[in-house]
Every structure is written in C-alpha cells, then in structure tokens.
C-alpha cells in the first residue's frame, strides 16, 4: 500500500516515520521547500527525543521519501493522511485555510481510488465538507473515502504515544475504509474504536478540553491550598488515587501552553457558541489558565517588591520539557510582563533559546547554562520542569545568586529538600508561607 502524509510538522513527521518503522513506504509532502530540503538531507525539522535517528535510518532504508511535488505525492497513492496545521483565527475559531489548500491539491492530482484520513484537529462537520469538495472536483469514476482519524500524541513523548496510545479513533461511514485502517493499525496492539465521522471529530476536542479542565481545576484547588495552608502535591496525590478521577494531569503550575490546548479549547467554545450552547465551564477553564500565566510575576512582585533593574533568571522557556516548542508557553507572558517592569532578564532553556530569541531579540539575555543564568541574580523564576532544572543542586542557588529567592511555577523541588537550604522558596499551592494562613481559617 502506498501511503502519503501531508505536512511535516509534529503530527506529519511522527506519523510518517512511525509508519515507516512499521514497515510501510511513506511519501511525506510539504509546501515549505526549506523543510523538505532539510529533511531530505536527513536533519529533523522538529525537536523530539529519538526522532533524528529514526529519520536517518528510514531514509537510508529507502522507506521514507520527502517531496514538494503534489503529483508525486498524490497521483498513485492509496492512503493519504492530512496533518497540516489548523491554527487559531483571531476570533478563536479554527483556521482551515491550510486544510482547504491541501484538499484542493489532493483533489487536483489523484488518479486512482484513495482513502483520505484527516489527522489534523478540525471542527465537527469538516470531514463532510472535505468529502463535498473532493466530490465536486474529482471524476465520478474515482472512489474517494473520507475518514476522521484524530491524533492524540504529546510533544516530547510522541514516538512512544504513537506505538503505545490509549486508543485509535477511526471516524467514518465507509466500512471498507474503516477495515483498511483497522488492518493498518492492528500491529500496534492499541484499542481501535470505529465511530461516525462527527463523533470522531468531537472526541478530539472533548479530550483536549477535558485535560485542560483537569489542569485549571487543580490550579484553582492549588490557589485555595495556599490560602488554607494545605499542600497541593498531597491533595493531588490523594484525589488521584481515586480511579474515577485518575492521577494524571493533576500537576498544579503556571498553566497549560502549547500548540493545542489553548487553540482547541477556544475552538470548542466557538463551536458550542455557533450551535447556541455557551460553553461556560470551558470559558472558565480558559480564564483560569490566562490568570495562571501571570501568577509567577505576581508572586515575584509580592516577594521582591519593585522588579525594575532587578536581575531575574527565567529558568525554562519551552511550554513543557523535552521540546523546543514555545507556542503559547507561559514563558511568553512572563517575559512580556518582566520587560514591562523594566527587569533585567536572563533566560535559560536547554532547547528553546533560539525560538525565544526570534521573538524577544536583544530585549533580554539568553543562556543554555543554568549557572550563568543564576550568577548574581536577585531572583529566579522556574517556568518549565526540565530535568536539568529538577536535578540542579539547590546549594548552587545559594552560592550563585545575589539573593536566593525562587519562584517555582512547576513545583520542581520538595519542600523538605528546600528546608535544608537558606532559600526563599515560593511554589504553587504549597508555599511554606501558607502555613501561617492556617491560623486565620
Ligand atoms: N503538535 C501536536 O503535538 C499535535 C497536533 N495535532 C493537530 O495536528 C495538526 C498539525 O499540527 P502540527 O503538526 O503541530 O502542525 P505544524 O503547524 O507544526 O505543521 C504543519 C505543517 O504542514 C505544512 N503545510 C501547510 N499547508 C500544507 C499543504 N497544503 N500541503 C502540504 N503541507 C502543508 C506546513 O508547512 C507545516 O510544515 C493540527 O491540527 C494540530 O491541532 C494533534 C495532536 C498533536
Ligand atoms: O492535541 C494535541 O496537540 C495534544 O495536546 C496535548 O499534548 P501536548 O500539548 O503535547 O502536551 P501535554 O503534555 O498535554 O501538556 C500540555 C500543557 O499542559 C501542562 N500541564 C500538563 C499536565 C499537568 O498535570 N499540568 C500541566 O500544567 C504542560 O505543562 C503543558 O504546558 C495532549 O496531551 C495530547 O493528547 C494531544 O494530542
């Protein structure tokens, strides 16, 4: 079976390479010729642990091909996965321009029967529109099946997620197409669900919205913990042990970021609004998350007073560890606020410095070395829980900083470890200062 994957972003490249690992030959197309040239030269265009080696292997084995030519990609293929971006429009709805362009190119070039699977996250009803567009543009003798096959991988653990996902969703009214995909995915040993197309599209948005809700919920509980002198780590552990709740996505912090939760929650709010159902719960989730992004600077001001002229080490820039992705990262809000306060900022990240530099230029300083960031700093703000930060010896904060004050937005250190050092430590939902509030309750 010939397989084509459209787009070389996270989802496109991971899908292509993982399908090659399963023994298939895959052609991966993009409209960005620089990305394709780089990939043909065997250099990954995304930062993902383990991916570079797999890319090199599959190029060498001649299973993986890159092209910008739609004729090569689409004319004789059997199965197409669309994985182009669906970013946010200014009003929060999903921008489907890339998707429409891709479908147009596919419809203009296919010459045989084909199954088209949408992996991109798209609003309910989009795959029906794709089907109409294809029907209008292709000769009647061609049999084109449309499938919604949403993707659930996480950046930083994407390869593992592809092979060991919790479920695979195949949304289609076409039984033959469903059977082809069931066979394709069978070796993965992951539960496969076949649903109608609209339900598959909704499963993706509902999953991301629910996970975002868990995060904002725990962040609200963390805020209350600080006021009543409880410890959010123990609380999250305690509620997570209830199997009906589950322990994942209960890490309190400075909020979720990334290329999907922020845009997908807003797109679902818009979708609900368009069918006259205001999604009040999800609107609150988004509001709480926006507040969390500002939390670290608010706490810094509370602890250190005026920030103007203060040397601040911002530790962690990526929206989560093991990625260089800074889309919607809390660090962006933190940096904007610190610059407005006229603070003297030095930003550290093991992978995302170049991406942040392309936005903030020489407004701040950058380093890939934690020691350099902390030298003579008045305070440190932790925005991403990289292993490099978690394992960094606390004694070094004492030795390097002018005043050892840490605002930890990701609860990287245990309070008992902190107690052994002369560090002022303010984290999320378990500040030692919260204890003093108990008396007031
Ligand atoms: N990033 C992630 O971890 C996940 C993303 N998703 C969803 O998957 C979709 C893709 O996301 P990413 O991979 O992050 O996107 P991305 O924005 O990083 O990459 C998209 C790629 O598609 C290319 N492209 C755009 N139009 C094209 C066309 N007409 N023909 C060929 N290539 C074209 C772009 O040049 C770009 O390289 C989105 O809908 C996203 O919501 C779903 C699960 C996980
Ligand atoms: O649709 C998508 O693109 C993907 O979005 C998320 O994956 P991702 O954004 O890569 O990363 P997550 O691990 O989900 O983290 C998202 C954000 O939530 C934050 N988070 C996560 C978990 C938690 O307990 N607390 C918390 O604040 C992280 O710091 C990060 O900023 C989902 O987990 C994937 O299933 C989905 O496929």
Same domain, 266 and 281: yes
Same domain, 184 and 206: no
CATH number of the domain within which 231 lies: 3.40.50.720
Question: Of 159, 177, 195, which residue sits at a domain end?
Answer: 195
* Digit-coded pLDDT (tens) for 310-326: 999 999 999 999 999 99
Same domain, 346 and 216: yes
Q: Which atom of ligand 2 is the closest one to the Cα of 254?
A: 27
Instruction: Report the separation in Å between the CA atom of 436 and the middle of ligand 2, taken as the mean of its atom positions.
Output: 34
Pocket test for ligand 2, best of 162, 201, 215 (most atoms within 8 A of CB): 215
Same domain, 155 and 206: no
Task: State the ipTM, two decimals.
Answer: 0.98
Q: Is the pLDDT confidence value at 214 over 70?
A: yes
Same domain, 393 and 434: yes
CA angle 202–203–209, rounded 5-degree value: 85
Number of neighbouring beta carbons within 10 Å of residue 162 = 22
Residues 6+ apart with CB under 8 A from 65: 25, 26, 27, 28
Asked whether the whole model's pTM tops 0.90, one would answer yes
Q: Which atom of ligand 1 is the closest one to the Cα of 122?
A: 39
Q: Which atom of ligand 1 is the closest one to the Cα of 325?
A: 1
Instruction: Give the domain range for residue 148.
Output: 3-195
* Digit-coded pLDDT (tens) for 127-181: 999 999 999 999 999 999 999 999 999 999 999 999 999 999 999 999 999 999 9
Question: Of 144, 170, 195, which residue sits at a domain end?
Answer: 195
Number of domains into which the chain is organized: 2
Q: Is the pLDDT confidence value at 431 over 70?
A: no
Q: Is the pLDDT confidence value at 103 over 50?
A: yes
Ligand nearest to the CA of 215: 2
Pocket test for ligand 2, best of 15, 206, 260 (most atoms within 8 A of CB): 260
Same domain, 12 and 148: yes
Distance CA 391, CA 427 (A): 17
Residue 320 CB–ligand 2 contact under 6 Å? yes
- With residues binned 3-state (H G I as helix, E B as strand, rest as coil), the percentages for the chain, rounded to 5, are 50, 15, 40
Same domain, 339 and 190: no
Pocket test for ligand 1, best of 28, 98, 127 (most atoms within 8 A of CB): 98
Which tokens belong to 433? 């200062």
Same domain, 267 and 386: yes
Same domain, 307 and 228: yes
Tell me which residue has its CA closest to atom 31 in ligand 1: 30
Q: Is the pLDDT confidence value at 262 over 80?
A: yes
DSSP-assigned states of every residue in 94-153 = BP-HHHHHHHHHHHHH--S-EEEEE-S---TTHHHHHHHHHHHHS-TT--EEEEE-----
Residue 162 CB–ligand 2 contact under 6 Å? no
Same domain, 200 and 179: no
Q: Helices (H), strands (E): how many in the chain? A: 18, 14
The pLDDT assigned to 432 comes to 56
Q: Is the pLDDT confidence value at 438 over 90?
A: no
Ligand 1 binding pocket (C-beta < 6 A) is 6-12, 29-32, 35, 83-86, 98, 101-102, 105, 119-121, 151, 153, 155, 259-260
Question: Of 162, 195, 228, which residue sits at a domain end?
Answer: 195
Distance CA 78, CA 80 (A): 7
* Digit-coded pLDDT (tens) for 56-76: 999 999 999 999 999 999 999
Strands 3-6 and 64-67: unpaired
Q: Which atom of ligand 2 is the closest one to the Cα of 215?
A: 25
Same domain, 44 and 92: yes
Same domain, 297 and 171: no
Distance from chain centroid for Cα 92: 17
């Amino acid at each position: 079976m010939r397989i084509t994957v459209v787009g070389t972003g996270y989802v496109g490249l991971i899908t292509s390479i993982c399908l090659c690992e399963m023994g298939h030959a895959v052609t991966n197309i993009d409209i960005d010729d620089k990305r394709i040239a780089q990939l043909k030269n065997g250099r990954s265009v995304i930062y993902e642990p383990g991916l570079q080696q797999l890319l090199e292997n599959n190029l060498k084995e001649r299973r993986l091909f890159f092209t910008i030519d739609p004729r090569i990609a689409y004319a004789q293929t059997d199965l197409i996965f669309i994985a182009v971006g669906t970013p946010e429009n200014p009003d929060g709805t999903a921008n489907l321009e890339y998707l429409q362009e891709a479908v147009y190119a596919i419809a203009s070039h296919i010459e045989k029967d084909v199954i088209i699977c949408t992996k991109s996250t798209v609003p309910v009803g989009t795959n029906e529109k794709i089907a109409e567009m294809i029907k209008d543009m292709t000769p009647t003798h061609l049999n084109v099946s449309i499938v919604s096959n949403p993707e659930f991988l996480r950046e930083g653990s994407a390869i593992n997620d592809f092979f060991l996902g919790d479920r695979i969703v195949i949304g289609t009214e076409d039984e033959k197409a469903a059977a082809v995909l069931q066979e394709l995915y069978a070796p993965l040993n992951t539960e496969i669900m076949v649903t109608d197309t609209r339900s598959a599209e909704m499963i993706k948005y509902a999953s991301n919205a629910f996970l975002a809700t868990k995060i904002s919920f725990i962040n609200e509980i963390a805020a209350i913990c600080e006021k009543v002198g409880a410890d959010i780590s123990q609380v999250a552990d305690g509620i997570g042990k209830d199997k009906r709740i589950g322990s994942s996505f209960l890490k309190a912090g400075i909020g979720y970021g990334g290329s999907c939760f922020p845009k997908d929650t807003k797109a679902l709010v818009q979708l609900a609004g368009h069918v006259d159902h205001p999604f009040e719960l999800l609107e609150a989730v988004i509001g709480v998350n926006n507040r969390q992004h500002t939390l670290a600077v608010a706490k810094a001001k509370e602890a250190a007073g005026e920030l103007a002229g203060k040397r601040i080490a911002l530790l962690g820039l990526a929206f989560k560890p093991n990625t260089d992705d800074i889309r919607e990262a809390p660090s962006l809000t933190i940096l904007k606020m610190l610059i407005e306060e006229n603070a003297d900022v030095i930003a550290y990240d093991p992978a995302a410095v170049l991406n942040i530099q392309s936005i903030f230029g020489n407004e701040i300083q950058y380093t890939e070395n934690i020691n350099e960031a902390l030298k003579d700093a008045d305070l440190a703000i932790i925005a991403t829980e990289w292993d490099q930060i978690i394992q960094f010896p606390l004694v070094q904060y004492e030795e390097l900083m002018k005043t050892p004050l840490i605002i930890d937005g990701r609860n990287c250190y245990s309070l008992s470890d902190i107690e052994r050092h002369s560090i002022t430590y303010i984290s999320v939902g378990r500040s030692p200062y919260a204890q003093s509030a108990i008396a007031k309750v």
